[in-house]
Structure 1
Amino acid sequence: MVEDGSPALRELMAILAPHTGGAYIVGLTGAPGVGKSTSTSALVTDYRARGKRIGVLAVDPSSPFSGGALLGDRVRMQEHATDPEVYIRSMASRGHLGGLSAATPQALRVLDAAGCEVILVETVGVGQSEIEVASAADTSVVLLAPGMGDGIQAAKAGILEIGDVFVVNKADRDGADATARELNHMLALGERREAGDWRPPIVKTVASRGEGVGEVVEALEKHRAWLAETGKLAVRRRARAAAEIEAIAFAVLRSRFGSLHGDSRIAVLADRVVSGALDPFAAADELLESVE
């Protein structure tokens, strides 16, 4: 219902609203090949050992030609397929930029209301443009791996700013220590923190063997506690709700304007702009007034 934009979605969200707000949402992002799906699976294993009920939203890129998606993230999470306390959902981005799917906020609400204590959101993995996950999550994890040029990627705008926890995965490879050092240097260069501010930790892991994953979970729990103590958790969730409201409002406006394609009102306004009788801004104002 969420992904298809069902007409019953409004009623569903109204019913679920009183049951939301209890889940801790963790976003995982990073370039392709750093081991996001393997790390997500390893985090599920660790959290399940702690008795937590887990939800996973794994967003896969959609083909710009067919609109389809492989939805292959679940292949790496087969060990959890029969666990009734783990729900894994692959979602197609359907052309939505920012690393997530447009349906992600409502999907998170469904998993939250269903009693998932921790929800892991794995992004598409297309590079440094994927900063939208920061606004969808309570804590953002940025994954890197040695030998992939990620040290340089990490310096680019957006990635350093969104990371609450940095993970250097595949740490059994040569260059892992150098990647961690370079990342630490980059973080220090961009540091404008005051006393009491959160300093993102850097954790080295070998997710395929489960090494270091417990340290990642400990770092996540520390950040969660810091958010709660400082009041930042409420601030982030308020911003998330505001972004969701804005997105829904824009979607409604887009649907209204979509029905105007080929409308005679636009043709008349266009003629007046071409003749110089009206400027395009005034024409847009008139169109907005007629739509309202």
Structure 2
Amino acid sequence: MHDVPSLVAQAREGRPRAVARLISLVEGASPQLREVMAALAPLTGHAYVVGLTGSPGVGKSTSTSALVTAYRRAGKRVGVLAVDPSSPFSGGALLGDRIRMADHASDPGVYIRSMATRGHLGGLAWAAPQAIRVLDAAGCDVVLVETVGVGQSEVEIASQADTSVVLLAPGMGDGIQAAKAGILEIGDVYVVNKADRDGADSTVRELNHMLGLGESRGPGDWRPPIVKTVASRAEGVDEVVEALEKHRAWMEERGVLAERRAARAAREVETIAVTALRERIADLRGDQRLGVLADRVASGSLDPYAAADELVSGLTQG
């Protein structure tokens, strides 16, 4: 058992081992998780959470690393959470990222963690917000959440972030991919990386066109900017930071940031509640209450909805 108050105090001082232990408690859904979250709650709400998403090969890790450098130059403490929804091995799939992030490894103002969601009930919705809360409480000014997997995880990452960055690269058929994956609904800032390659301008044009098609924005609404970068040479990275700061200011001015954070908290509470109920229902498998209700449904003397209502009211009272 861990001494939670002392771990939290050490994490506040920015001690990497304490932060690592707390995130491990989150990942392993430790019995001490409630105590950890209760201790962290009053210390959070400071970090700006940026989600980075995009297909493999667009240069996510290089872009993340370049953003870390830019934020560190501005004197900000940075947390990086690389989430792999598909990998059963935390860290295994992220060796390349670790190498690219090696520049920051000895910097005490940067905390890098790779995290596999390991098929927990609720996946990202369960583990990521709590890991973000650990980094927030540990004093990070900015938390960059990078998704390694593809598909549904992209949209899930967007729901964890204050601002979502969608990365694309020329020559990858990304326009079609973006439309398919529903990525055009989630981006607050679009980055066309590897802009020194042929086709960068046509990727920007295509993206502009597709964003225009889906547009039902009123005056004063946020129009996602498109920024061209060559992250490997740090070109355009300051413009990305500037676009992020503008989006943050726009959200704060209109109360959107508070709304997004409240919606995120609602989803998190719901996930925890549903997970707890599922566990209790699973415990009931051998319980006669469920057996009796199932017999009545099978014989036609009770309908399944009435049986479910009875089961839920029994669970919430019991």
TM-score range, shorter chain: over 0.9
Instruction: Give the Cα separation in 2 of the matches to 1:288 and 1:244.
Output: 20
Shift of 1:80: 0.6
Instruction: Give the Cα separation in 2 of the matches to 1:171 and 1:97.
Output: 39
1:200 corresponds to which of 224, 238, 247: 224
Once the two structures are superposed, residues 23-50 of structure 1 have per-residue CA deviations (whole angstroms, 9 ceiling, x without a partner) of: 1100011112211111111100111111
Deviates more, 1:72-81 or 1:158-167: 72-81
Amino acid at match of 1:8: Q
1:179 equivalenced with 2:200 (yes/no):
no
Runs of at least 5 residues in structure 1 that lack an aligned partner in the other structure: none
1:142 equivalenced with 2:163 (yes/no):
no
Once the two structures are superposed, residues 213-246 of structure 1 have per-residue CA deviations (whole angstroms, 9 ceiling, x without a partner) of: 1111110011111111111111111111111111
1:105 corresponds to which of 107, 129, 137: 129
1:94 equivalenced with 2:115 (yes/no):
no
Distance 1:10 1:279, change over 3 A: same
Shift of 1:55: 0.3
SS in 2 for 1:216: helix
Q: Aligned residue pairs: how many?
A: 289
Shift of 1:157: 5.9
Contact 1:171 1:205 in 2 (8 A): yes
SS in 1 for 2:197: coil
Name 1:161's counterpart in structure 2. Answer: 185
Once the two structures are superposed, residues 230-263 of structure 1 have per-residue CA deviations (whole angstroms, 9 ceiling, x without a partner) of: 1111111111111111111112112211212343
Instruction: Give the Cα separation in 2 of the matches to 1:98 and 1:241.
Output: 14
Which is helix-richer, 1 or 2?
Answer: 2
Once the two structures are superposed, residues 115-167 of structure 1 have per-residue CA deviations (whole angstroms, 9 ceiling, x without a partner) of: 10000000133136621222211100001111111111222363111100001
Instruction: Give the Cα separation in 2 of the matches to 1:191 and 1:99.
Output: 31
Instruction: Give the Cα separation in 1 of the matches to 2:56 and 2:103.
Output: 22
Distance 1:249 1:18, change over 3 A: same
Once the two structures are superposed, residues 169-194 of structure 1 have per-residue CA deviations (whole angstroms, 9 ceiling, x without a partner) of: 11122211111100000111111111
Deviates more, 1:152-161 or 1:195-204: 152-161
Contact 1:28 1:122 in 2 (8 A): yes
SS in 1 for 2:107: coil
1:131 equivalenced with 2:155 (yes/no):
yes
Name 1:68's counterpart in structure 2. Answer: 89
Distance 1:205 1:128, change over 3 A: farther
Q: How does 1:1-292 map to 2 (within 5 A)?
A: 1-63=25-87, 67-69=88-90, 70-72=92-94, 73-95=97-119, 100=124, 102-127=126-151, 130-156=154-180, 158-292=182-316
SS in 1 for 2:149: coil
Shift of 1:109: 0.8
Contact 2:64 2:146 in 1 (8 A): yes
Runs of at least 5 residues in structure 2 that lack an aligned partner in the other structure: 1-24
Distance 1:135 1:255, change over 3 A: same
Amino acid at match of 2:280: R
TM-score (norm 1): 0.93
Instruction: Give the Cα separation in 1 of the matches to 2:170 and 2:151.
Output: 15
Shift of 1:266: 2.6
TM-score (norm 2): 0.85
Contact 2:170 2:200 in 1 (8 A): yes
Instruction: Give the Cα separation in 1 of the matches to 2:227 and 2:170.
Output: 13
Instruction: Give the Cα separation in 2 of the matches to 1:12 and 1:96.
Output: 19
Identity of aligned residues (%): 75
Instruction: Give the Cα separation in 2 of the matches to 1:262 and 1:151.
Output: 51
SS in 2 for 1:13: helix
SS in 2 for 1:192: coil
Contact 1:100 1:124 in 2 (8 A): no
Instruction: Give the Cα separation in 2 of the matches to 1:45 and 1:34.
Output: 19
Distance 1:260 1:75, change over 3 A: farther
RMSD between aligned residues: 1.9
Instruction: Give the Cα separation in 1 of the matches to 2:162 and 2:147.
Output: 15
Shift of 1:98: 9.1
Distance 1:99 1:167, change over 3 A: farther
